[in-house]
Amino acid sequence: MNMPRYEEITRNIKIVVEPAFLEEQSEPEENRFLWAYRVTIENKSDLTVQLLSRYWRITDDRGRTREVRGEGVIGEQPVIAPGSAFEYTSGAPLETPSGFMTGTYHMRAASGESFEVGIPMFALDSPYVSRRMH
């Protein structure tokens, strides 16, 4: 099964997110739904960059929003050279069968300049979502 792909490019830094519902780790009867998401950060610029921190906004299908901020990703503050990429996998729980996430990475270029890189908004959809036509 193909995972959906969401992409965004900011200042020649390409972010690709591929979310996947974790059926075996979710407990729908307990309102516990879990997703993994794989992120690839590809440096298409001419400068070496370092990912310093992350900001996530996670919204469930009832409109409840949770914000998460922290240093680096998965315990690392990766340095990404021009033409290379860094990939990691993380996860997110929700109390509803669907929702979405978006955010930013705070980066620093080798020149010392700091900037934000957008993380594309991506859907967290499980098989338990009841689809309604609008």
Range of the domain at 107: 6-122
pLDDT of residue 129: 77
Residue found by looking up tokens 């922290």 in the block: 70
Of 118, 91, 99, the residue nearest 18 (C-alpha) = 91
Asked whether residue 31 is assigned to any structural domain, the reply reads: yes
Domain at 35, CATH number: 2.60.40.1470
In the chain, which stretches have pLDDT less than 70? 1-2, 130-134
Asked whether residue 130 is assigned to any structural domain, the reply reads: no
Asked whether residue 79 is assigned to any structural domain, the reply reads: yes
pLDDT of residue 39: 98
pLDDT of residue 132: 55
Asked whether residue 1 is assigned to any structural domain, the reply reads: no
Asked whether residue 63 is assigned to any structural domain, the reply reads: yes
80/109 Cα distance (integer angstroms)? 10
Domain count of the fold of the chain: 1
Asked whether residue 106 is assigned to any structural domain, the reply reads: yes
pLDDT of residue 126: 92
pLDDT of residue 91: 96
pTM given for the model: 0.92
DSSP state letter for 131: P
Residue found by looking up tokens 């914000």 in the block: 67
Asked whether residue 18 is assigned to any structural domain, the reply reads: yes
Asked whether residue 93 is assigned to any structural domain, the reply reads: yes
